[in-house]
Amino acid sequence: MTIDWRPTAEIDTLRERARLIGEVRAFFAERGVWEVETPVLGHGGSTDLHLASLSCEATTPAGRERLWLQTSPEFHMKRLLAAGSGPIFQIARSFRDGEVGRRHNLEFTMLEWYRPGLDLDGLIEETGALIRRVLPTDPGPTHRRRYRELFRETLALDPFTESLEALRRLAAEKGGLDMAEAPRDDCLDLLMSLAIEPGLGRDGLDVVVDYPASQAALARRHRDAEDGEWVASRFEVYRDGLELANGYDELTDGDEQRARFAEDNAARRAFGLPEVDVDQRLLAALAAGMPEGSGVALGLDRLIQLALGKASVAEVMAFATPSA
Amino acid sequence: MANYSTNEFKGGLKVMLDGDPCAIVENEFVKPGKGQAFNRVKLRNLMTGRVWERTFKSGESLEGADVLELEMEYLYNDGEMWYFMLTDGSFEQYPVEKKALGDTEKWLKEQVAYTVTLWNDNVINVTPPNFIELEVTETDPGLKGDTAQGGSKPATLSSGAVVRVPLFINQGEVLKVDTRSGEYVSRA
């Protein structure tokens, strides 16, 4: 048997990738956002119910310890913000167990940046500008799409008020699977993935806003001015049915953050998932005071995949996990 | 049988779904921004040949199906069952029902090797080789001088299949036929 040692991407593609990453660095240099490097391994991991963290054992000055591979560079970067860094960006290797497919790879490159003092609208604008800088042709106008409106338009239902029974029925019908026990957010996630996402970003960039408050992750929540529903202050950017970026009006309240970590771990226990060590240093940094502002994580491999017209992220990675 | 989790679903893997053995055709991992991950999976039902599209929560698993694909020679038909024999030297014979044989019935020729799919040791499918050589048992007389182009006519082959052949083909000739399209390829 011959062993396939060749890269998953063509060499010319990797050269193009290097050029595009150069563009990204120039974009931030022009805007006074400086590049940082933070550790891939930390003492705390992501408690997010839908992210599976990898961990390892290592010998450190403290002895034999369990360390977590980051699912994004968020925690360390927020500690820099709390220490007064000002606007920063990072091109960081991130790890998510089990995420393998055309749009996913176990380890991938996250472009993440933080803008103290900038609101979500300002960051949406900047994210669009970055994407336009990397894509070879202008993708067209940016459309803001409210989560609630997307569900109403596409599925004729209100994701906030529709009964759980009806959501389960529709999710089961669209996906051809048993959703009888599924929680509300799982039904919404499935409908979003199967019925809504594929149509997003077909005509310009679609920016989805006003997610249900239950899907806030590390974003603030606010009451919608129009309908009074609690929504998450976050956005996602789509192009050609592909989710490119996920931005937050960052939660800066350490107590609230502590409570959300605890909620996540409680949910993890309830679903039989392993608990994740909470990042105590992040909580301490938030308690000390992190400046208000917004931050966004962008899947750089996906953006490069789109820019170069490739069918999968593997085609723009030197060695996707199966051949690593 | 072992269980296979969604992340082990690869093209060709045989699993049980709704009581039928299926082969995975395609598996796509989908995950909204920060939500539950799913796998969109296309499976071919090996009993019916139909392709199903199903969604699974990532990490869910299906029982593996005890499916084997073996090469066997066609032997004979006793009026009720068709008999095939392993080509591995064991001379082991397997009876095949009409239902499992399906369309392959019209491509049967003794001593030709077929791909036979076994599920729990029962034959559920028989696939003919892509090309097979068969004798013309019945067709209109050939037209002299018309050896190249133009026109076709039906010809019945020794296996019972009827294919369109060029006008110059005569009864008794052996033809090479593509079993996938049912089309004449050439004189053998």
A217 vs B: CB within 8 A: yes
36-95 in A: which are within 8 Å (CB) of B?
A: 48, 50-51
Does residue A247 lie within any of the structural domains? Answer: no
CATH for the B3-63 domain, from 1.20.1560.10, 1.20.1600.10, 2.30.30.30, 3.50.50.60: 2.30.30.30
Could you give the CA distance from residue A185 to residue A181 in angstroms, rounded to a whole number? Answer: 12
Under an 8 A CB cutoff, do A50 and B37 touch?
yes
Whether residue A110 sits in one domain with residue A17: yes
What's the pTM value of the predicted model, to 2 decimals?
A: 0.81
Residues of chain B with C-beta less than 8 angstroms from the C-beta of A197: 30, 32
Contacts of A15 by beta carbon, 8 Å cutoff, 6+ apart: none
Whether residue A282 sits in one domain with residue A260: yes
pLDDT at A100: 86
Q: Domain ranges for chain B, please list them.
A: 3-63, 67-127, 131-187
- For the cut 60, the answer to whether the pLDDT of residue B146 exceeds it is no
Whether residue A121 sits in one domain with residue A61: yes
- For the cut 60, the answer to whether the pLDDT of residue B148 exceeds it is no
> What CATH topology corresponds to B67-127?
OB fold (Dihydrolipoamide Acetyltransferase, E2P) (2.40.50)
Smallest Cβ–Cβ distance between B59 and the set A98, A193, A217 belongs to A98
Whether residue A281 sits in one domain with residue A229: no
Do the beta carbons of residue B25 and residue B39 sit within 8 Å?
A: no
A149-161 mean pLDDT: 95
Under an 8 A CB cutoff, do B55 and A243 touch?
no
A17-37 mean pLDDT: 98
Q: What is the dihedral of CA A173, A176, A180, A181, to 10 degrees?
A: -130
Q: Identity (one letter) of the amino acid at A233?
A: S
- For the cut 80, the answer to whether the pLDDT of residue B32 exceeds it is no
A119-135 mean pLDDT: 97
Residues spanned by the domain of A235: 140-200+202-239
Does residue A244 lie within any of the structural domains? Answer: no
Residues of chain A with C-beta less than 8 angstroms from the C-beta of B53: 176
pLDDT tens for residues A243-281? Answer: 999 999 999 999 999 999 999 999 999 989 999 999 999
User: How do the residues of chain B divide into helix, strand and coil, expressed in percent and rounded to 5?
Assistant: 5, 55, 40
Q: Assess whether the region B67-127 and the region B131-187 belong to the same CATH fold.
A: yes
pLDDT tens for residues B50-69? Answer: 999 999 988 899 999 999 99
Residues A23-28: contacts with CB within 8 Å, 24+ apart?
A: A23/A133, A23/A134, A24/A91, A24/A111, A24/A130, A24/A133, A24/A134, A24/A300, A27/A129, A27/A130, A27/A133, A28/A89, A28/A113
pLDDT tens for residues A306-320? Answer: 999 999 999 999 999
Whether residue A120 sits in one domain with residue A52: yes
Under an 8 A CB cutoff, do B29 and A243 touch?
no
CATH assignment of the domain containing A323? 3.30.930.10
Please state the domain count of chain A. Answer: 2
Whether residue A265 sits in one domain with residue A176: no
Per-residue tokens: A164: 């759980």
Whether residue A5 sits in one domain with residue A132: yes
CB atoms within 10 A of CB A35: 13
pLDDT tens for residues A272-290? Answer: 999 999 999 999 999 999 9
The closest of A101, A44, A102 to A73, measured between CA atoms, is A44
Please, what CATH class does the domain formed by B131-187 belong to? Answer: mainly beta
